[in-house]
Amino acid sequence: MQFGIFTVGDVTTDPTTGRTPSEHERIRATVAIAKKAEEVGLDVFATGQHHNPPFVAPANPPVLLASIAAQTERILLSTSTTLITTTDPVRIAEDYAMLQHLSNGRVDLMMGRGNTGPVYPWFGKDIREGISLAVENYALLHRLWREEVVDWQGNHRTPLQGFTSTPRPLDGIPPFVWHGSIRSPEIAEQAAYYGDGFFSNHIFWPASHTRQMVQLYRRRFEHYGHGSADQAIVGLGGQVFIRRNSQDAVREFRPYFDNAPVYGHGPSLEEFTRQTPLTVGSPQEVIERTLSFREYAGDYQRQLWLMDHAGLPLGTVLEQLDLLGEEVVPVLRKEFAALKPAHVPDAPTHAGLLAAREQTAGTTDTRTLEEAS
Amino acid sequence: MTTLHLAVVTAGVSQPSSTRMLSDRLTAATVSALRAADPSLEVVTEVVEVRDVAHDLADNALTGFASPELQVRLDAVSEADAVIAVTPIYAASYSGLFKLLVDVLPKESLRDVPVLLGATGGTARHSLAVDHALRPLFAHLGALVAPTAVFAATEDWGGDSAGLLGERIERAGSSFARLVSGSPRERAADPFADVVPFDQLLARSGR
């Protein structure tokens, strides 16, 4: 099981002080947060991709992640999400293959469609074509990483004749891909078809909905012959604010919640924690809530938390990461590992995929030798 | 025995509410006309008081999902075989709360669904709001809107015209009952049960 954080990189005024960080501060803070995530023992750092204020840090995910790769040793770098609809799949193929090389394989990606209407026309696309763009662009990306020379023609970009995406994926192994979707069954179907991962960012949605999406993905994963339904690769979003004492967590987080860009001025903190996975409380409460996700998502492979939005100052976010890394994740690792049946795989990593290929190659070699003797 | 699910959306805010009174009388008139035509018919009525979920509606508009309390009501409306919708008229149109509910109903949930419209207002001078505001809204939703709607002004509840309101309600109810007893609606496909296979999604794109 992998544990990590994902950021949306918003520049938001701290409602308790009225202070707004500069873009530069926010971008440097994002790098500091990623380094801290590695330091406290988390497995994954993922960044969103946005092209509109107040989301400044993630306008250039490959650049951000390359910088973080240079300053870290171990943490896996990912996206949450890469806009497969409005980003040219050729750019995605080349940028992230490059990042694979620079980070020694510490890369995977999460595809998403994005949710800001004007982003589509800004990039020459039509939001009504969202699903079609996600399907076609990913089909091309999938080929660009797997075929040396690609001839291709589609509806959404200029055709390619004799095109080679460079650099080629590290060791010939494309980055593992997750498909993120909150409400579109087509995307769960897409993830199942390719045997890719499915990520349900259920931080803004009730559990009943997440259950439906994950069940659909698992059922179709089995249908397409990638393994049994419970072997499908599932990731979940989450959102927590932790203090040792539950009341302190609620008191401190409430003004950030009440003014958050996404759900602020809507439901109360109490309603939102009841209706969505948001957990504001002690480490023990976060542990119990997170373990309960398994009841409706099954044994899953990746848990990401949103920790750094809504104007929370950097110092607070770093303290949160300490609590997460020291008091929450070690317990969750043990508990989830004890619950997981042996036939349920871990999330694929570059090292794991490489080892699996070498093992297969090794078996073939042995057989060839045996046949020869 | 056939069962018919009738949802009644009523958007009055006062207690007691004349909007609720009109809703109840339209419901009673419709049910009795339906039962007169088919005595074996069982009519299950679910009343959605918009006021009860006013905050939930605002939250849904902001977060994109319904609270459990609101979801039950949205399900009742979107799964109904017929809907009676009654709103007070404010500033020449349906009330904001009423429109909030319509805004968060799942897409297509009222397509081909028979709908009886009702409205209340201070004086009869607002009665055309039913036709210039409510009717276009439900036309947009693709509902089968009953030609006869009922507008009740304050004076309709007493005085010389009181009996006439009762007649209009009876007429609307029996005409609506005939519309309802036509062919039952087609249920929308469950997108989770009937997923579009990926090769079909892919075939719509390039190669």
Task: Extract the residue ranges of chain A whose pLDDT is less than 50.
Answer: 367-373
Option in B67, B68, B201 nearest A189 (CB): B201
In B, which residues are within 8 Å of A129 by CB distance?
none
Inter-residue contact B110 to B93 (CB < 8 Å)? no
- Residue positions counted in chain B: 207
Q: What is the pLDDT of residue B16?
A: 86
CA angle A95, A88, A48 (to 5 degrees): 65
**CA-CA-CA-CA torsion sign (B5, B10, B15, B18):** negative
**Cβ neighbourhood burial of A142 (10 Å; 0-12, 13-18, 19+):** middle
Q: How many CB pairs under 8 A join A and B?
A: 77
CA distance B17 to chain A (A): 27
In B, which residues are within 8 Å of A131 by CB distance?
201
| Mean predicted confidence (pLDDT) in B70-93 | 96
Q: Is B54 on the interface with A (CB under 8 A)?
A: no
Q: Which residue has the tokens 């940028």?
A: A95
CA distance A132 to chain B (A): 7
Domain holding A74, by residue range, is 2-371
Q: For residues B116 and B175, give the distance between their C-alpha atoms in angstroms, rounded to a whole number.
A: 9
pTM of the entire predicted model? 0.90
Q: For residues A17 and A214, give the distance between their C-alpha atoms in angstroms, rounded to a whole number.
A: 40
Could you tell me the domains of chain B? 3-205 (3.40.50.360)
Q: For residues A53 and A22, give the distance between their C-alpha atoms in angstroms, rounded to a whole number.
A: 12
In A, which residues are within 8 Å of B197 by CB distance?
189
The H or E element spanning position A198 is strand A197-200
Option in A132, A155, A185 nearest B191 (CB): A185
Q: How much of chain B, in percent, has pLDDT values that exceed 90?
A: 81
Report the chain A residue with the minimal C-alpha distance to residue B68.
A275
pLDDT for residue B207 is more than 50: no
Higher pLDDT, A8 or B175: B175
**CA-CA-CA-CA torsion sign (B121, B126, B129, B130):** positive
Q: What is the pLDDT of residue A373?
A: 44
Q: What is the pLDDT of residue A372?
A: 46
| Phi, psi (rounded to 5 degrees) for A199 | -115, 125
Inter-residue contact B81 to B5 (CB < 8 Å)? yes
Q: For residues A209 and B20, give the distance between their C-alpha atoms in angstroms, rounded to a whole number.
A: 33
**Domain total of chain A:** 1
**Minimum mean pLDDT among A130-139, A360-369, B60-69, B175-184: which range?**
A360-369
Q: Give residue-wise pLDDT tens across range B144-153.
A: 999 999 999 9
Q: What is the pLDDT of residue B183?
A: 63
| Mean predicted confidence (pLDDT) in B145-167 | 90
Q: What is the pLDDT of residue A118?
A: 87
Inter-residue contact B66 to B58 (CB < 8 Å)? no
Q: How much of chain B, in percent, has pLDDT values that exceed 70?
A: 95
Q: What is the pLDDT of residue A208?
A: 83
Q: What is the pLDDT of residue B160?
A: 78
CATH number at A192 reads 3.20.20.30
Q: How confident is the model at residue B187 (pLDDT cuts 50, 70, 90)?
A: low
Q: Give residue-wise pLDDT tens across range B2-59.
A: 899 999 999 999 988 999 999 999 999 999 999 999 999 999 999 999 999 999 999 9
Instruction: Report residue B88 as tokens.
Output: 């007070």
